Chains A and B, each alone.
Chain A
Amino acid sequence: MAEYNTQILICGGTGCKSAESDEIGNVFKDLLNEYGLDDDVQVVVTGCFGFCEKGPIVKMMPDKTFYVHVTPADAEEIIKEHVVKGRQVDRLLYKDPKTKKSVSDSQHMDFYKKQIRIALRNCGFIDPENIDEYIARDGYMALGKCLGEMTPEQVIDEIKKSGLRGRGGGGFPTGLKWEITAKVKGDQKYVVCNADEGDPGAFMDRSILEGDPHSVIESMAINGYCTGATKGLVYIRAEYPLAVARLKTAIKQAREYGLLGTDILGSGFDFDIEIRYGAGAFVCGEETALIHSMEGLRGEPTFKPPFPSESGYLGKPTNVNNVETYANIPVIINKGAEWFASIGTEKSKGTKVFALAGKINNVGLIEVPMGTTLREVIYDIGGGIKGGKKFKAVQTGGPSGGMLTNDFLDTPIDYDNLISAGSMMGSGGMIVMDEDDCMVAIAKFYLEFTLEESCGKCSPCRIGNKRLFEILERITEGKGEEGDIHKLRILSEVIKDTSLCGLGQTSPNPVLSSLSHFMDEYEAHIKDGRCPAGQCKALLKYEVVEEKCTGCTLCFRNCPVGAITGERRSVHYIDQSLCIKCGVCFEKCKFDAIVMV
């Protein structure tokens, strides 16, 4: 069927592209033509291989030989040796840093695969609306194993041994949480799945529910078996209609198979699941607020203790875990705690899903073992910074987290390292920022989010965050005052120290972390009235450099507000009173005749 004997795959990922992969492709095509091989050999440009540090990468098919650091000059040798003579070009092969040996093909160098998909194991593989496909991939086997072969204590023990910690942000040991709920006496207990994913820029829970809803259902049932709960509730964002629909279908199918309901798998264990909807309140990710919301109340958190495991939904013992946490459970049961614990770092086991976004090439959902470095995530998986710009920081932990700079690129990611670096794991948003992002504006952005999402119950969060925001706002508007930085610090510390719930206790983190890493930017705003990243509009204006302007009218034609005037072939002018500082003229000008001052 295939006409070509050999295919040359050239990485077209942005990282490699900037390192001349286009050029390499052209050289290959020319050479093949020259050698008269163009009917036998095909050149294909692919997406990112995720090994950008070693790029440009060329992969030969069908034998999967993997060449690294390929330059246009290497093309001829590859054709002569590999294509014609069938011999690998050893010097272009990847050398294992430990053994110093060359690795011939990608099959034997799976360590280049930085990701391991545990929580996402079925996402993108199975039809989420077909329970049989889930079962074919060991679905519900873990539940069967628990009900048929293990006592609740044994299951809890297995989870504890696995070292799994809550993936919703806090990182509380999951097994311990289950154990506490199991030990509390209660006539009725509840198992809750927190699917009120709300970190701006995190969407792994949605993806899991959309791609593999049964894994959550199965785990909740296992949790019910362990803790003695017969009712499960999924608290899900109403803004996720597709996830809701797939979850509903999955629950229905599980009921039809008797995998939910009474006497599951003949074990005498009863369990069923209901769906509750969030309604657009980020604070409902906090478990006490979530429970109040499920009870039909305002989602205001209450002081802990009592913890939900003692007094939760309707005052009954309630175990709350998030979607990603649940998605790990069946694998732990099926493959064993030891297997799971072999992945990750000493105190953080397994993998973590991140939503990689921002100024990065390969925006997407990734799952890496705990302990992977930020550098690997950003450069190898993420394909580096968009547009070849300079990396400035990566923000993790959403509005509760902080910025991590260059200095932390080689820090292995786990719960504890991120906290000591001044950020946190959070639910797994990872927003990459480049030189164009103003860190004061970013801090303000997060504060604005917190401000809108604060429930208002406690004074430090309700008023303190407003004051923080106001100070940041005036700094970005060039109205910063001497002493503002001191105020930001003191206020942040007090808000952290005195707020009622996790939202308030972490809300100043973006401020504190930007202050500690980017003090110079704050000072530039306050003292020099300048935004180094050129993002704070009040502090910048666009002007035409008369000598460079050719009068091409491109800026004039693109200005959305008609602020630019000028005749063809004569110098154009920007009317500052009309200019909205959108920067379109700056981007469109081909002659660098518009500058930001």
Chain B
Amino acid sequence: MNKITSLADLKKIKDQVQSKIKLRENSDVADTLVQIRVGMATCGIASGAKETMNFLIEETEHLAIDAVVTQTGCMGYCYAEPTIEVTLPGKEPMVFGHVDKVKAREIIDRYIIKGELVDGIIPASYKTIDEK
């Protein structure tokens, strides 16, 4: 990694990262790219988030789904761990709770592949700093 030596540099990095994300969204694969985040805080991991994440990686690979599976922190829905957030191309992010392997299977088969919603969606009930 190169050192960031000025505020301008920092902004440049920010733009780069953001445009990378945009590029990904606007590229040829934009139609198919699925982003999946897995809540991997202590309570998530304790409830099996690691297994869920591994399963999602393996299965999307196995089914040749163009997906990026990343970890993230606590989403706050401790009662519904493990939780994952799935963003289908061009759609709003959707959070699912209680995602064990069975649920993950269902989410892949029905939501990711067919676009059908599945039970267990957790509606986002908060505002972000940009909404406020």
Give the B-binding residues of A (Cβ under 8 A).
1-4, 7, 9, 11-12, 42, 44-51, 59, 61, 110, 112-118, 120-130, 132-133, 135-136, 138-141, 144-145, 147-148, 203, 206-208, 210-212, 240, 242-243, 253, 256-259, 263, 265-266, 331, 335, 339, 343, 357, 361-367, 381
Known: A136-B14, A206-B42. Is A123-B74 also a contact (CB below 8 A)? Answer: yes
Task: List residues of chain B with CB within 8 A of the CB of A129.
Answer: 71
A212 to B72, CA, bound (A): 9
Taking a contact as CB atoms under 8 Å apart, the answer to whether A141 and B10 are in contact is yes
Selected A-B contacts with CB under 8 Å, 25 pairs? A2-B115, A4-B117, A44-B121, A46-B120, A47-B97, A48-B122, A49-B125, A50-B123, A110-B131, A116-B127, A116-B129, A120-B74, A121-B129, A124-B76, A138-B14, A148-B6, A148-B7, A207-B41, A210-B40, A210-B73, A210-B74, A258-B3, A259-B4, A357-B78, A364-B80
By Cβ-Cβ distance, the 5 closest A-B pairs, closest first, are: A211-B73, A115-B126, A258-B3, A50-B125, A124-B75
A141 to B131, CA, bound (A): 19
What number of B residues sit within 8 Å (CB to CB) of A? 54
Taking a contact as CB atoms under 8 Å apart, the answer to whether B72 and A242 are in contact is no
Q: Say whether B33 faces chain A, with CB atoms less than 8 Å apart.
A: no
Give the A-binding residues of B (Cβ under 8 A).
1-7, 9-11, 13-14, 17-18, 21, 37, 39-43, 45, 70-80, 83, 85, 97, 114-129, 131-132
Task: List residues of chain B with CB within 8 A of the CB of A121.
Answer: 128-129
Taking a contact as CB atoms under 8 Å apart, the answer to whether B127 and A115 are in contact is yes
Taking a contact as CB atoms under 8 Å apart, the answer to whether B114 and A42 are in contact is no
Taking a contact as CB atoms under 8 Å apart, the answer to whether B117 and A210 are in contact is no
Taking a contact as CB atoms under 8 Å apart, the answer to whether B73 and A136 are in contact is no
Task: List residues of chain A with CB within 8 A of the CB of B74.
Answer: 120, 123-124, 207, 210-211, 365
Taking a contact as CB atoms under 8 Å apart, the answer to whether B121 and A9 are in contact is yes
Taking a contact as CB atoms under 8 Å apart, the answer to whether B72 and A211 are in contact is yes
Q: Report which residue of B4, B18, B70 has the largest number of chain A beta carbons within 10 angstroms of its beta carbon.
A: B4
Minimum CB–CB distance for A247 against chain B, Å: 12
A145 to B14, CA, bound (A): 14
Task: List residues of chain A with CB within 8 A of the CB of B13.
Answer: 132, 135, 257
Question: Whose C-beta in chain B lies nearest to the C-beta of A243?
Answer: B42
- Our pick among A11, A59, A120, A136 for the contact of B76 (Cβ within 8 Å) is A120
Minimum CB–CB distance for A195 against chain B, Å: 14
A367 to B78, CA, bound (A): 14
